[in-house]
Chains A and B, each alone.
Chain A
Amino acid sequence: MQQPEHSSRMARPGLRVIIIGLGAAAAFFLSLPLGRYHIPLSDVAAALSAAISPGVELIPDAVQTVLFNIRLPRILTGMLVGAVLSASGAVYQGMFRNPLVSPDILGASAGAGFGAAFAIWCSWGIAGIQVSAFICGLTAVLSAWGLSTRMRHEPMLALVLSGILIGTLFSAGTAAVKYIADPLDKLPAITFWLMGSLAASTRRDALILAAAAAAGLVPLLALRWRLNVLSLGDEEAQALGLETGKLRFGVIICATLMTTVSVSIGGMIGWVGLIVPHLARMIVGPNYGVLLPASALLGGAYLLVVDDLARMVAAVETPLGILTALIGVPFFLCLLKYNTRDWQ
């Protein structure tokens, strides 16, 4: 009766989210044995079960140390960074009704990058880095948004343009901080950190990120239905009964909080927040009730796999930001080529 190609595209989105979740879980377990110090899957399983219920099995100390102090924190941090960047990318895209924005394009990453570099230069502690990254990231997003509403230009383009402008300003600020930083100790710290790496992830990093992800994702998930309505645009959302001003501001705070905490821990990892939400939308559709979890799970799995590659491909660790860009650019070109229909 009906054209099946239309209805099949969004069939059973809930089931699709569960499948993505299973994929993410599989990526998690398969990443545990990987690395320079190879741990057989059986040892991993034994160590994990011993950690949950202390038993009689003896696991070598080296395995314990590598698994719990190095590999597990890194895997969790990687998944969380990917999840929050993708989730906030999905939220920004709906919020600004613009499939071309992402944390990097809106200037959130550049702002957070500047804030963190400045904090490193000032030798502030980890808390100082977080706060400074958040404040600068939020300033960047809000100024990009404010600037775009004052540009007499097609709104989709105006936001991208103003995001690039604001991002450039903050990047210049970062460059200035690097220029005056001590070349022997601060400069390399800032530079390596900006390239994006999960190599030094600790348990504390994973915990901070988990807290930020919860603080950002829980309210966003609670507001999932309103996010759908908000993505129709201000006037339509208001006519449907939403107070858009407060809602949009709160949503931007949540997304920016997640982005900046992720930047202050994992560095500037580009493109994840742009391509993963697209991919997720192609799989489950634009309804935030499923899009948000799908983006987070897919982003977590994606960044974990990329980080596995970063650990494995070369004798020396490859910075993550380089890999995500190398994968992201051709992928995005494909999206532009085959998926423009949805943007009409």
Chain B
Amino acid sequence: MKLELRDICCGYDTSDVVQGVTLSIGPGDIACLLGPNGSGKTTLFKAMLGLMPLHKGSVLLDGQDIRRWDRRDIAQKLGYIPQHQMRPFPFTVFDMVLMGRTSHIGACSSPGRSDRMAAMEALAALHMQHLEKRIFTELSGGERQLVLIARALAQQPGILIMDEPTASLDFGNQLLVLDHIRELAHGGLSVIMSTHLPNHAFLFGTRVLLLKKGHILSAGTPEETVNRENMRSLYNVDVEIAQMQLQDSREIRVCIPLSHCSCSQRRNKQSQKEK
């Protein structure tokens, strides 16, 4: 499935948080959205999902404008994994995943056998059947993120939208979640996710979008976009991009932060004084 944004502007009230964003994502893509806090990443996702009225522009799914679609139709095409948030009620993992079936169920009915099967399949796709009866709120952060991904899979969408899927996860769990995401993309799903780590883009991304103050600063392959100038412009950080060869002879790039620009300036001044 193909998702296109054409010159969209949107935001709260009348001010535009996202300004003139155009992009397109096709099947198998893992698009990584990088941008500082407050650059409009979550707003952009909400705009894609139709959760927020557009001031300008349009969102197209396989060429069709979703403006007049109802929530149900959108949910059957787009799966959303929101950022970590408070959940007051202790649902079981299975019930959480089953909620992904909501857009496939009639208004006054409950999930049936085929829905239960789909939920089990979604859990199985992430190798999580053994968690079925556990309480969602009692799981670890990584497990919770995987359950939410399973819920989005049960929705059977063509596109997954993930808002910082690795935030607040430890090193191992980040990799666990990202590996699963890559596997899903190999299966033909399109994925767009926001992240704060440029290395995630090198390791897992097929495309990178840099968002700065609601504008697209740059878009393209990880190699084209994640470079010194862009990282400096985006985060005000000096980085070095190193190329290295892995043991399996794969070539890979890594982004190594050197220092924050304002700090390095201060340091430079100090060293000048000392001279």
A residues sitting closer than 8 Å to B (CB atoms) are 1-2, 6-7, 9-10, 94, 97-99, 156, 222-226, 228-229, 231-233, 235-243, 281, 285-287, 289, 341-344
The one of A94, A156, A225 that contacts B102, using a Cβ cutoff of 8 Å: A225
**Which listed residue (A10, A99, A240, A281) contacts B100, Cβ 8 A?**
A240
- Tell me the bound Cα distance from A41 to B121 in angstroms: 55
Evaluate contact between B111 and A281: CB separation under 8 angstroms. Answer: no
Pair B134/A6 contact, Cβ less than 8 Å: yes
Q: How far is the CA of A344 from the CA of B89 in the complex (A)?
A: 9
Closest to A10 in B: B92
Closest beta carbon of chain B to A333's beta carbon, Å: 19
The interface size of chain B toward A, counting residues with CB under 8 Å, comes to 40
User: Could you say which residues of chain A place their CB within 8 Å of the CB of B137?
Assistant: 341-342, 344
CB proximity to A under 8 Å, residues B108-159: 108-111, 130, 133-135, 137-138, 151, 155
A229 and B108 form a contact (CB under 8 A)? no
Check A6 against B135 for contact (C-beta < 8 Å). yes
Q: Which one, B69-77, B194-202, B208-216, is touching chain A?
A: B69-77
Q: Which of A6, A232, A341 contacts B133 (CB 8 A)?
A: A6
Of all chain A residues, which has the CB nearest B100?
A: A240
Q: A232-B99, A235-B51, A239-B75 are in contact. Are A98 and B138 (CB under 8 A)?
A: no
What residues of B have a CB within 8 angstroms of the CB of A342 in the complex? Answer: 88-90, 137
**Alpha-carbon distance A235/B100, docked complex (angstroms):** 14
Interface status of B242 (Cβ within 8 A of chain A):
no
Interchain CB contact (< 8 A) of B71 among A6, A10, A222, A238 = A238
- Chain B residue with Cβ nearest A237: B102
Contact with A along B69-97 (1 / 0, CB 8 A): 01110111011101001111111100100
Chain B CB within 10 Å — which of A1, A239, A341 has the most?
A239
Q: Are A344 and B86 in contact (CB under 8 A)?
A: yes
B99's partner among A10, A240, A243 (CB-CB below 8 A) is A240
| Complex-state Cα separation, A287 to B79, whole angstroms | 22
Q: In the complex, what distance in Å separates the CA atom of A7 from the CA atom of B151?
A: 20
Bound: A228/B107 CA distance, A: 13
Tell me how far the C-beta of A108 lies from the nearest C-beta in chain B, rounded to whole angstroms: 20
Would you call B102 and A243 a contact (CB within 8 A)? no
* Residues of chain A with a CB closer than 8 A to B207's CB: none
Q: Which of B87, B88, B102, B130 contacts A240 (CB 8 A)?
A: B102
- Contact, CB under 8 Å: B85 / A240: no
Please measure, in the bound complex, the distance between the C-alpha atom of A237 and the C-alpha atom of B85, giving whole angstroms.
Answer: 14
B88 pairs with A236, CB closer than 8 A: no
How far is the CB of A280 from the nearest CB of chain B, in Å? 12
Chain A residue with minimal CB distance to B95?
A287
The complex places the Cα of A236 from the Cα of B151 at a distance, in Å, of: 11
B102 touches A241 (CB 8 A): yes
Query: Assuming A2-B133, A242-B71, A285-B91, what are 4 further A-B pairs, CB within 8 angstroms?
Result: A239-B80, A241-B155, A287-B92, A287-B95
Whether A2 lies near B155 (C-beta < 8 A) is no
Does residue B103 face the partner (Cβ distance < 8 Å to A)? yes
Contact B109 A241 (CB under 8 A): no
Chain B 44-87 interface 0/1 with A at a Cβ cutoff of 8 Å (1 = within): 00100101000000000000000000111011101110100111
Partner of B134, one of A7, A223, A231, A341: A7
Which chain B residues have a beta carbon within 8 Å of chain A's beta carbons?
46, 49, 51, 70-72, 74-76, 78-80, 82, 85-92, 95, 99-100, 102-103, 105, 107-111, 130, 133-135, 137-138, 151, 155
Q: Is B86 a contact partner of A241 (Cβ separation < 8 A)?
A: no
B76 and A241 within 8 A (CB): yes
B99 contacts A229, CB within 8 Å? yes
Residues of A within 8 A of B85 (CB): 233
Closest-by-CB residue of B relative to A4 is B133
Bound together, the chains give a CA A237 to CA B90 distance in angstroms of 17
Residue in contact with A232 in the complex, picked from B46, B79, B87, CB distance below 8 Å: B87
B91, A225: Cβ atoms closer than 8 Å: no
- Whole-angstrom distance between the Cβ of A289 and the nearest chain B Cβ: 6
A243-B88 contact in complex given A10-B133, A225-B110, C-beta closer than 8 Å: no
Chain A residues, Cβ within 8 Å of B100: 240
Task: For the complex formed, measure the closest distance between the CB of B168 and the CB atoms of chain A, giving whole angstroms.
Answer: 14
* Complex alpha-carbon distance, A231 and B130, angstroms: 25
Contacts of B87 in A (CB 8 A): 232, 344
Q: Shortest CB–CB separation between residue A118 and chain B, in angstroms? A: 35
CB of B88 within 8 A of CB of A97, answer yes
With CB as the reference atom, state the residue of chain B lying closest to A343.
B88
The 4 tightest CB contacts between A and B, nearest first, are A241-B103, A241-B75, A239-B80, A286-B89
Chain B residues, Cβ within 8 Å of A98: 88
Tell me the complex Cα distance, A281–B92, Å. Answer: 12
Q: List 8 A-B contacts (CB under 8 A).
A: A6-B138, A224-B110, A236-B80, A238-B49, A239-B51, A240-B75, A240-B102, A240-B155
A222 touching B92 by the CB < 8 A rule?
no
**CB-defined contacts of A242 to chain B, threshold 8 Å:** 71, 102
A282 closest partner in B (C-beta): B90
B102 engages A222 (CB within 8 Å): no
* Contact with B105, one of A6, A225, A285 (Cβ below 8 angstroms): A225
Q: Tell me, in angstroms, the Cα distance from A224 to B109 when the chains sit together.
A: 8
A226 close to B88 (CB less than 8 A): no
Contacts of A237 in B (CB 8 A): 102
Q: Is A222's CB under 8 angstroms from B108's CB?
A: yes
| Chain A residues within an 8 Å CB radius of B95 | 228, 287
CB <8 Å contact, B51 and A10 = no
Residues of B within 8 A of A7 (CB): 133-134
Q: Residue A99 contacts which of B82, B88, B110 (CB distance < 8 angstroms)?
A: B88
Among B80, B87, B111, the most chain A Cβ lie within 10 Å of the Cβ of: B87
